[in-house]
Amino acid sequence: MPSTELSDDDVREIAREETRKAIRSELRGYAYGVVGLVVGFLGLPLLFMAASSGNLAVVAVAVVALVGFTALLLW
């Protein structure tokens, strides 16, 4: 009957992989926060200025630019 015990190397490799996953997840969370701040500080004033112009085409261009910029940052 085969042994189900893990060697020290197997345990270290599993711990390394779990640490990598945790770090990636944490960095991804920070990246989403940074994207939110950048889009909020740059995009919302742009959107408000476009809306105050009263021109629907300018608002549409601002929204498309904001969505494109957000997608670029998240990619």
User: Encoding tokens for residue 19?
Assistant: 């640490």
Could you tell me how many helices (H) and strands (E) the chain has, helices first? 3, 0
Q: Give the residue-averaged pLDDT of 35-50.
A: 86
Which residue in 23, 37, 48 sits closest to 70, CA to CA? 37
User: Model-level pTM?
Assistant: 0.57
Residue 21 within any structural domain of the chain: no
Residue 66 belongs to domain spanning: 35-74
- Number of domains within the chain: 1
Q: Is residue 20 part of a domain?
A: no
Q: How confident is residue 71, by pLDDT bands cut at 50, 70 and 90?
A: confident
Q: How confident is the model at residue 20, as a pLDDT?
A: 95
Residue 12 lies in a domain: no
Mean pLDDT throughout 30-34?
Answer: 88
2 pLDDT more than 60: no
What integer pLDDT is reported at residue 12 of this predicted model? Answer: 92
